[in-house]
Amino acid sequence: MKETKKLLLFDIDGTLLISGGAGNRALNRALQRQYGISRAMESIIPDGKTDPAIIREIFQKNLQREPNIEEIENLCHMYLDNLRDEIQISSGYRLLPGVLPLLERAGKRSDLLMGLLTGNLERGAELKLGRSQLNRFFLFGGFGSDSEDRGEIAKMAVLRGREYAGEQIPLDRIFVIGDTVFDIQCARTVGAKALAVATGSTSFEELSFHRPDYLMEDFSDLEDFWEVISEIR
């Protein structure tokens, strides 16, 4: 009998890695150059938000208006250009504890499919993961370039994951893994399991308050993670 697969959908920033502010610097540079806005990201909490939504928020705060589609596209383009070198030179860039062994082990299992569920633009995600050669683990994803709304991104990720698997994987076999309350909420939006990890800027207590299905301090104890994933048969 064919085994039904499980989908693991990973957030990037604060979950797999810390970019050390590279993303903020890349966007700051674009906004300074194009609109003369300095240190735009200082007044924004980007965690859990999509890249286009962050640009919209910066426009409202600094220019008191909405950006049009062309402006968003243009800024995204400049941001990605800057991000390429900011990621490479970022001294604070690091993978979070246990992430690499986790991905290596999960990558060897035929019953698990790993994808991305992130507010990053698809190309931005590639750049952030690329510095540590992590792109090879992820077969599909939902990105900030798909929608500004994280719930919609989650729907895309689930759709693409099921397409990739070639089967209608049930929702209780789909895990949304992330470090913010937004990740927990978007797991709820699609009806998947929420696995929260306190390696980002949201504390364990705060995450716990929002009642994810599973909550971990970090991924340094691989057996813990394995237990969670294996709980559903």
Residues that bind Mg ion (CB under 5 A): 11, 13-14, 179
To Mg ion, the closest distance from the beta carbon of 225 in angstroms equals 17
Nearest CB to Mg ion, comparing residues 58 and 207 = 207
To Mg ion, the closest distance from the beta carbon of 127 in angstroms equals 16
Nearest CB to Mg ion, comparing residues 5 and 148 = 148
To Mg ion, the closest distance from the beta carbon of 45 in angstroms equals 11
To Mg ion, the closest distance from the beta carbon of 66 in angstroms equals 25
Nearest CB to Mg ion, comparing residues 49 and 193 = 49
Distance, CA of 86 to CA of 79 (rounded, Å): 10
CA 92-9-24 angle, 5° bins: 30
To Mg ion, the closest distance from the beta carbon of 180 in angstroms equals 5
Nearest CB to Mg ion, comparing residues 169 and 197 = 197
Residue 230 burial by CB count (10 A; 0-12/13-18/19+): exposed, middle or buried? Answer: exposed
Distance, CA of 102 to CA of 119 (rounded, Å): 22
Nearest CB to Mg ion, comparing residues 11 and 51 = 11
Task: Give the residue closest to Mg ion by C-beta.
Answer: 14
Confirm if 187 and 172 have CB atoms less than 8 A apart: no
H-helix or E-strand containing 152?
helix 150-165
H-helix or E-strand containing 184?
helix 181-190
